[in-house]
Amino acid sequence: MKLLPSKMDLKTALEVFAVFQWTLSIVMIITTVILVNLYLVVFTPYWPVTVLILTWLAFDWKTPQQGGRRVNCVRNWKLWKHYSDYFPLKLLKTHDISPSQNYILVCHPHGLMSHSYFGHFATESSGFSKIFPDITPYLLTLGAFFWVPFFRDYLMCSGCCSVSQSSMDFLLTHKGTGNMLVVVVGGLAECRYSLPGSTTLVLKNRTGFVRTALRHGVALIPAYSFGETDLYNQYIFPPGSLGNRFQKLFQRMVHIYPCAFYGRGFTENSWGLLPYARPVTTIVGKPLPVPKIENPSQEMVAKYHALYIDALCKLFDQHKTRFGISETQELVIA
């Protein structure tokens, strides 16, 4: 009779916990911060604590737009290694890059929660510093995440910064060279296409990253994560149904498409909101040189946007068959 868990059982439990704490941390931290501060203000005489928190938030407001507050020991937590092993995640490069320049790494697809990009670029679980020596990654994410006390600090400790224009300008002008800005350009709009086997990207009208690259003269690097869209399933409501009408109404109101997604629970064959344990491999392509033009014209932006899409498609086509994608399947640019 088996009384104690095996090493494999403990390893699996640690991996599930690592993914669980990150996947639901935003919900748990936001909920806890709101409820605790409401309790302090309404039911206790300790409302000055809330005032102090808000005062610090106001004082520290611009930090996510000015390089953040990276803590390398947090990036190197052993917890993140369990996080990476859960899927597992793998980061591969096709070319070396020089630390004498800055770069904008453009990642596709967004998926539902961008698990692979967090693992690769906000932690050292994939060995980023060994793969890209002397390069400092900055994973850029929604500025709204930095409105929440404590969660914003958790994010910044991992090297995350705001994806705002002012943040990108600061990183490209005040941090020297050897910086890699990691941008997932499809954003939340791409979540609706995050289905197993999907290769649809929201990119046709996303040109801001190209304009920023031109203004600063930094190279664009395409990256594609094979398997990111396989981590969750989605329930697709029939056109005209109540669920579908709600999704469209919500999207019109807040410009976010609410997805009815699901994955696994704490055990392998259960239902829940954790991602499926499926491998994800991110291929980082060749840098696309971009000239420095202080005020690029729309024609110049369109030219380099087209060159970037061409480079991305070539990267995808070169590696897709290794990951079970048929030779005939192509990227769909929406």
* pLDDT tens sequence across 78-93: 999 999 999 999 999 9
Band (322; pLDDT cuts 50, 70, 90): very high
Predicted local distance difference test score (pLDDT) of residue 244: 83
Q: Mean pLDDT throughout 143-157?
A: 90
Q: Mean pLDDT throughout 253-267?
A: 81
- Check pLDDT > 60 for residue 1: no
Band (258; pLDDT cuts 50, 70, 90): confident
Q: Is the dihedral of CA 62, 64, 65, 68 positive or negative?
A: positive
Choice between 88 and 245, residue whose per-residue pLDDT is larger: 88
- Check pLDDT > 80 for residue 7: no
Predicted local distance difference test score (pLDDT) of residue 269: 82
Provide the 10 A C-beta neighbour count for residue 30: 16
Predicted local distance difference test score (pLDDT) of residue 128: 96
Predicted local distance difference test score (pLDDT) of residue 162: 95
> Starting from the edge strand earliest in sequence, which strands make up the sheet with 280-284, in order?
89-93, 280-284, 219-226, 103-108, 179-183, 136-141, 161-162
Predicted local distance difference test score (pLDDT) of residue 276: 93
Predicted local distance difference test score (pLDDT) of residue 289: 96
Q: Which residues contact 207 (CB under 8 A, 6 or more apart)?
A: 301, 302, 305
Predicted local distance difference test score (pLDDT) of residue 60: 94
Average pLDDT, the chain: 91
Q: Outline where DSSP puts E strands in 58-203.
A: 89-93, 103-108, 136-141, 161-162, 179-183, 200-201
Predicted local distance difference test score (pLDDT) of residue 268: 80
**By C-alpha distance, which of 147, 85, 308, 327 is closest to 212?**
308
